[in-house]
Amino acid sequence: MQQQRGDEFPAAELLAAERRLRHAVREGDLSGLHGLLHPQLVSVRPDGRSLPGEQETAELAAGTLVVERIEPEETVATVVGPTGVTRTVLAVQGRYRNKAFEARVLCTRTWVHSEEDGWQVLATRVGEVEPGV
């Protein structure tokens, strides 16, 4: 029998994890990221490249990816049992391989929850948002 979680609004816990993730990315907090990223994370970038989680954090650690601003415009969270999905429109600014970027992106993340690790991102898909959307 699966134990029921006591949280009356389980999406609130997931939204808090999403905020911690954005903060860790902006601050380059690798320790914070390791607790939020599932070991089997797959991240799909706007150009369609698929990266394992280790490569994602390695780019932040090496300074290849620097996120200076990451501000949510809209976030929606759905939780079903130990699985959650967040859909966030973000205004981001930073540098990738020393080239400046600024964009509005739609970030969709699939999260899994365990009592031991809490919420962790299993999959991320980031794509640019068309102007006016």
pLDDT at 39: 95
pTM for the structure as a whole = 0.87
User: What is d(CA 23, CA 43) in angstroms, rounded to the nearest whole number?
Assistant: 18
Instruction: Report pLDDT digits (tens) over 56-73.
Output: 899 999 999 999 999 999
Above 70 in pLDDT, residue 1? no
DSSP 59-101: HHHHTSEEEEEEEEEEEEEEEETTEEEEEEEEEEEEEETTEEE
User: What is d(CA 71, CA 64) in angstroms, rounded to the nearest whole number?
Assistant: 20
Instruction: Report pLDDT digits (tens) over 18-62.
Output: 999 999 999 999 999 999 999 999 999 888 999 998 998 999 999
Instruction: Report pLDDT digits (tens) over 101-127.
Output: 999 999 999 999 999 999 999 999 999
